[in-house]
């Protein structure tokens, strides 16, 4: 097989044209087989096979720098740079699902948040020039979906102003991000896709002049009245060229020879060039092409023949939210949904299907989504912005200044909060609980089970004068709801011991671990009370009062322990003049690698056994005497 002979880009460059085409077929077969076993981003990678081969034939990585926007379409790049063991893809110790500097010198940008590639490329190209490395070129591959994000256009604004920057921008236009790309840019790219400028120009000439026109500057100079119209007919790419970018395309992204030729021309131009490449997401795999909902953008393990998912047990948290939101929307006409190009993954598809006018897909533009939501709230609606927790980071200023400052009733639903698992460092939703602590007036709920998702979502939508947040993790809700034995204030008591020395405070899905700790402590002859605050912000006075009745409080959360729920509770205990020791158990301030969620939590000491051991150790430390000073210890 040809693929087995590819150890790096030089091997790709030595292939004949026919061999390059054969390699593309082998790669598609490999991807379907490998990703079917492990799960991963299948559709995007099937769509860029020929494009990636052409890039590595036209440019010389790593001497030339290739930057992948988002990076979930980098599997082919990995194969062509010597990484062909996909057996552990997205698992601990295996290949990352995104570019990784630890894996290869050919990988540059690990951040899998979209719209960043052009800024990276601009900075790298500027540095090469200033260092006198004039033989090095930079290539940025960005999808049409990512061009809906404002950061990409901030970069274009600067790139276009520098006419000598050695930079090629490849727009991978497949009309989709997760779902079909929306907005004015998408409409413009559609015009470029469907326009046959030259043929339209000839037809105009025959009709208007009675003969076939000769294309040239002299003719344009004599047709002052229709010059602008001709430009639009022959070159609808004018939007890019008006910005100062040389535009080339559209090019068939599945024609290796055509793409390679175009890229070689682009690198000799002497300035920034935008190459518009048309590709087909899921190319060569019938189940992906037949799917209208983009189910094959990212898959779990599947049957490679049929594309059907291998059966998994449990009901996803997202599904519970999706069903409940539709029920609420049927009786509340003011409720609307907002998504940043991820309608299906974040659970707004059913809402959109039933109320298409009430769901707004703004593209990959979280900042715009948040401030637009503030405007909707001002005008009498209650927006629900459903977004991955890791992407909330991108809209923090808007949440703080446009929503919280203006006391706007906007609900954020944070999917994939906490440790997410296989997608790695940039996708773990581990920062939200720390970031949100500093937002004045905010309400934050962390449901522990399906019943609480429904209950707390309704409560969040009743908050009309401040932002509210509902956060839950990736995966399935507990098989059975976790009932409370009583509710004190707004706090659910999950396990009560009258003589407890320990209060175990659990955040969201950590409730199961808290109950396990209580049972283990009982076996050691110790007693603990386990509570779920339900709403971690604002801190319930009843929770502070409970903390004052014990010697030790242990907070278990799946967010950063720096500035997290445990840290906030310790501050409230201190402000109340209590002497209780508060220990925060959560995620340390480190970037976490990809792997199984359960295994990652175990590595952090967030298991019933490890937490129990820590409680016993802390109680032993408290035995001699309490010094009367409340303490929070940020530790595993």
Contact (Cβ atoms closer than 8 angstroms) between residue 375 and residue 338: no
Cβ atoms 564, 631 nearer than 8 A = no
Where residue 474 falls (left for φ over 0; alpha for ψ -120 to 50; beta otherwise) is beta
For the stretch 100-109, contacts whose Cβ atoms lie closer than 8 Å and that sit 24 or more positions apart, written own/partner, are: 103/78, 104/78, 105/62, 106/9, 106/61, 106/62, 106/66, 106/77, 106/81, 107/74, 107/77, 107/81, 108/65, 108/66, 108/67, 109/67, 109/68, 109/71
Q: What is the C-alpha separation between 133 and 137, in angstroms, rounded?
A: 9
- 605 labelled ligand-binding: no
CA distance 432 to 414: 9
What is the DSSP secondary-structure string of 621-634? HHSS---S---EEE
The edge-to-edge listing of strands for the beta sheet with 486-488 is: 486-488, 491-495, 528-532, 502-506, 552-560, 581-587, 632-634
Alpha helix segments (H runs only) across 235-365: 238-242, 256-267, 286-290, 317-331, 349-354
Residue 112 assigned to a binding site? yes
| Sign of the dihedral through C-alpha 49, 50, 55, 60 | positive
Strand partners, 361: 339
C-alpha to C-alpha distance for 415 and 15, rounded to whole angstroms: 45
> Any binding-site annotation on 146?
yes
Cα distances from 462 to residues 405, 443, 445, 453, 548, in angstroms, run: 18, 11, 13, 14, 31
Q: Pick the catalytic residue: 50, 366, 456, 557?
A: 366
Partnered with residue 632 across adjacent β-strands are: 582
CA torsion 178-285-300-318 (nearest 10°) is 30
Q: Which residue has the tokens 């790669």?
A: 27
First to last CA, the chain: 48
Task: Kindly give, in sequence order, each residue whose CB lies less than 8 Å from that of residue 549, ignoring residues fewer than 6 positions away.
Answer: 503
Confirm whether 366 is a catalytic residue.
Answer: yes
174 marked as part of a ligand binding site: yes
Helix (H) or strand (E) holding 377: helix 366-378
Separation between Cα atoms, residue 41 and residue 48, nearest integer Å:
12
Closest C-alpha among 96, 126, 90, 122 to residue 111: 96
Active site residue: 281, 358, 597, 614, which one?
281
Catalytic (active site) residue 227:
no
Beta strands in 309-416 (DSSP E): 335-339, 359-361, 382-388, 411-415
Unique residue bearing structure tokens 């082919």: 76
From 90, 176, 394, 452, active-site residue? 394
- Which residues are known to be catalytic? 281, 366, 394
Binding-site residue numbers are: 72, 112-114, 144-146, 174, 285, 366
Binding-site residue numbers for Mg(2+) are: 144, 174
Binding-site residue numbers for thiamine diphosphate are: 72, 112-114, 145-146, 174, 285, 366
């Amino acid at each position: 097989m040809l693929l087995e002979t590819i150890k790096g880009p030089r091997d790709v460059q030595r292939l004949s044209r026919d061999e390059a085409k054969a390699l593309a077929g082998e790669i598609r077969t490999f991807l379907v087989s490998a990703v079917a076993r492990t799960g991963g981003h299948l559709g995007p990678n099937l769509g860029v096979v020929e494009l990636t081969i052409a890039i590595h034939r036209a440019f010389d990585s790593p001497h030339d720098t290739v930057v992948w926007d988002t990076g979930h379409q980098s599997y082919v790049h990995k194969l062509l740079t010597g990484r062909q063991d996909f057996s552990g893809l997205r698992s601990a110790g295996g290949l990352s699902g995104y570019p990784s500097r630890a894996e290869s010198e050919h990988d540059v940008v690990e951040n899998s948040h979209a719209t960043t590639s052009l800024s990276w490329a601009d900075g790298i190209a500027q540095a090469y020039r200033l260092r006198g490395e004039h033989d090095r070129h930079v290539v940025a591959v960005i999808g049409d979906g990512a061009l809906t994000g404002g950061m990409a256009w901030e970069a274009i604004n600067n790139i276009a102003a520098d006419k000598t920057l050695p930079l090629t921008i490849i727009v991978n236009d497949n009309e989709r991000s997760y779902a079909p790309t929306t907005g004015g840019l998408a409409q413009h790219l559609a015009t470029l896709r469907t326009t046959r400028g030259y043929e339209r120009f000839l037809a105009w000439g025959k009709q208007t002049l009675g003969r076939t026109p000769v294309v040239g500057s002299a003719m344009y100079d004599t047709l002052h009245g229709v010059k602008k119209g001709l430009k639009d007919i022959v070159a609808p790419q004018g939007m890019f060229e008006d910005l100062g970018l040389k535009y080339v395309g559209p090019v068939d992204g599945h024609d290796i020879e055509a793409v390679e030729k175009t890229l070689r021309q682009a690198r000799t131009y002497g300035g920034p060039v935008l190459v518009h490449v048309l590709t087909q997401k899921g190319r060569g795999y019938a189940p992906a092409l037949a799917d209208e909902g983009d189910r094959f953008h990212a898959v779990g393990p599947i049957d490679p023949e049929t594309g059907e998912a291998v059966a998994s047990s449990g009901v996803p948290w997202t599904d519970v939210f999706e069903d409940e939101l539709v029920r609420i929307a049927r009786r509340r006409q003011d409720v609307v949904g907002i998504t940043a190009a991820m309608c299906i993954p974040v659970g707004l598809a059913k809402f959109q299907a039933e109320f298409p006018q009430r769901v707004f897909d703004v593209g990959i533009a979280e900042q715009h989504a948040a401030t637009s939501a503030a405007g909707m709230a001002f005008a009498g609606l209650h927006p629900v912005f459903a977004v991955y927790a890791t992407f909330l980071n991108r809209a923090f200023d808007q949440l703080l200044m446009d929503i919280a400052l203006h006391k706007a009733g906007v609900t954020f639903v944070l999917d994939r909060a906490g440790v997410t698992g296989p997608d790695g460092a940039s996708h773990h939703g581990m920062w939200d609980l720390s970031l949100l602590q500093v937002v004045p007036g905010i309400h934050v709920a962390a449901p522990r089970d399906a019943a609480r998702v429904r209950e707390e979502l309704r409560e969040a939508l009743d908050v009309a004068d401040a932002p509210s947040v509902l956060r839950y993790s990736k995966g399935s809700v507990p098989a059975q709801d976790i009932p409370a034995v009583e509710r004190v204030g707004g706090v659910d008591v999950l396990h009560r011991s009258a003589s407890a020395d320990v209060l175990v405070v659990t955040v969201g899905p950590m409730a199961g671990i808290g109950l396990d700790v209580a049972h283990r402590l009982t076996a050691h002859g110790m007693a603990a009370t386990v509570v779920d605050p339900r709403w971690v912000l604002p801190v319930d006075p009843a929770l502070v009062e409970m903390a004052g009745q014990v010697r030790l409080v242990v907070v278990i959360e799946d967010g950063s322990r720096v500035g997290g729920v445990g840290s906030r509770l310790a501050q409230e205990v201190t402000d109340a003049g209590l002497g209780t020791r508060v220990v925060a158990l959560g995620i340390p301030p480190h970037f976490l690698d990809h792997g199984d969620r359960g295994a990652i939590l175990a590595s952090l000491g967030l298991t019933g056994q490890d937490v129990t051991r820590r409680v016993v150790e802390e109680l032993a430390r408290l035995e001699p005497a309490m010094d009367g000073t409340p303490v929070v210890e940020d530790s595993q």
